[in-house]
Amino acid sequence: MKKVEQGTTITLTGLAAGIRYKIAVQVVTSNTQSPYSKDEIVTTNLLQATEVEQLSHSLGIPYLRDSVADLEKTANDLTSKAASLATITQENKGIIPLAIMKC
């Protein structure tokens, strides 16, 4: 968390969106410091989706991205299993090796 002081206004940055925080203020000068103020409970604003993010969600792009990632993982798993199967079939001379290619 970082604070930026501007006169009587303080801006806190680095806080998470939509989270409740308890804040107390203390004035510190070169001569003295005050006791902390009474705690104040505040909630940060939720983040607003940009137009691009809204369009992305309306088109189902996050779902498609996850689906493609799942398919890539499945393809990699199948390729690995096929390689293992090819090794086994080559060891058993009576079985014809099967070639599986990734498209």
Contact 75, 67 (CB under 8 A): no
State the average pLDDT over residues 16-32. 86
- Statement to judge: residues 7 and 36 lie in one domain: yes
- Statement to judge: residues 59 and 83 lie in one domain: yes
Helix, strand or coil, per DSSP, at residue 22: strand
Domain that holds residue 57: 51-91
Neighbours of 50 (CB within 10 A): 9
- Statement to judge: residues 35 and 64 lie in one domain: no
pTM for this structure?
Answer: 0.39
- Statement to judge: residues 81 and 59 lie in one domain: yes
| 101 in a structural domain | no
Residue-wise pLDDT for 27-64, tens only, equals 888 888 889 989 999 998 887 878 888 888 899 998 99
Number of structural domains the chain divides into: 2
Start-to-end CA distance of the chain, whole Å, equals 49
- Statement to judge: residues 10 and 39 lie in one domain: yes
